[in-house]
Amino acid sequence: MSTDTVWDVALRQLDLAAESLKLSPGVHEVLRHPRRTLEVSVPTRMDDGSIRVFKGYRVHHNTSRGPSKGGIRYHPSVTLEEIKALAMWMTWKCALVNIPFGGAKGGVVVDPGALSAAELERMSRRYASEILPLIGPEKDIPAPDLGTNEQVMAWIMDTFSTREGFSVPGVVTGKPLSIGGSAGRSQATARGVMYITLATLKHLGRSVEEARVVVQGYGNVGANTVELLADQGCMIVAASDVHGGVYNPGGLSPHRMNRFKQEAGTIFGYEGGERVSNAELLELDCDVLIPAALEGQLTEENADRVAASVIVEAANGPTMPEADEIFTERGLTVVPDILANAGGVTVSYFEWVQDLQAYYWSEDEVNDRLRSIMEASYVSVLGLAEDAKVSMRTAATMLGVDRVAAAHRTRGLYP
């Protein structure tokens, strides 16, 4: 069993891409290290008057191509190594879809569901105040991630703006529309996953209407992916959240599942199919498996039992390197996270541009621009994978690393 951390996995992916690119040792060494790492204490007054201190992080991996960009996650399992890995992947992701950002990531070690709304606001604003020296529309632009949402982004934007003395909508993305958010942002990651899934099925000569899809994770990304793919004609045969999942080989109704989730707070127990665990769900008979939960779900232990022929990574880092090797040997198509889930950061870029211009686009314009970028990026990755005879993951990382390395070499090393 592998003992690699998620940071070890990210470094291994970089090293493999650097070897394929014949990257110079100096540039390779620079890219292996985050540019800056901040650890903060987040003292928060609880509703009963007591004080709790949470641990928070913000990491900038690279800023050679522009200001850093990356989400903020609230979860009990957040670690510095995880945040560093996610920041590195954001660097390659932004370069892969050719938007002018570097990678960043932030997080707080907290269970947001255990806090009241008032406690969550106080904690979020205090965390924002601690990372204020690093963030700004020209420096680092946070966004929602696991455990955070547009309301948290609104609190961060207001905290930053209050310090500046005027509204600065461009300091975060994924905001509510009422304060400078972008149309289409809430579904952007899922819509990108949909475009990539459809492109993959088309490339493989598969019928969209006959594709049986399993989605692990029923948060914002997973639930919207289920709905969007069902609207395109795919059959959703299973889905799950943190509590467990539901499986029906004859197909599930996304709309009924959503209604059940709104009432029960989970889709586990939905009566449209049989109950399955998250571990069982990954091994169900299907054509497309979409892991949309946490990292490290597909491992050496379960890779041989994955029945899907296509894996589209909506989550960050769901596949461990040993599982990747097994999937390659088995001939499975794995579309990597930095390509498959890049829709979110792409529309975050659109939102940032709109905020800077104070000129906003329609949802159709946003979706059309997103589709164009996602499909072009897919073609680029697929072409390199076939030409270089490497996996799509290595090809995607190579494209991202090469663009960042080129920017680094062009700018030079100061002093």
Q: Which residues are catalytic?
A: 105
Contact 224, 191 (CB under 8 A): yes
| Separation CA 187–CA 283 (nearest Å) | 27
Residue 283 half-sphere exposure, CB side, CA atoms within 13 Å?
Answer: 11
Contact 219, 241 (CB under 8 A): yes
The contacts of residue 51 (CB under 8 Å, 6+ apart) are 43, 44, 45
| 302 token code pair | 């379960």
Find out whether the peptide bond into 67 is cis, omega within 30 degrees of 0. Answer: no
Residue found by looking up tokens 């394929």 in the block: 20
Contact 28, 21 (CB under 8 A): no
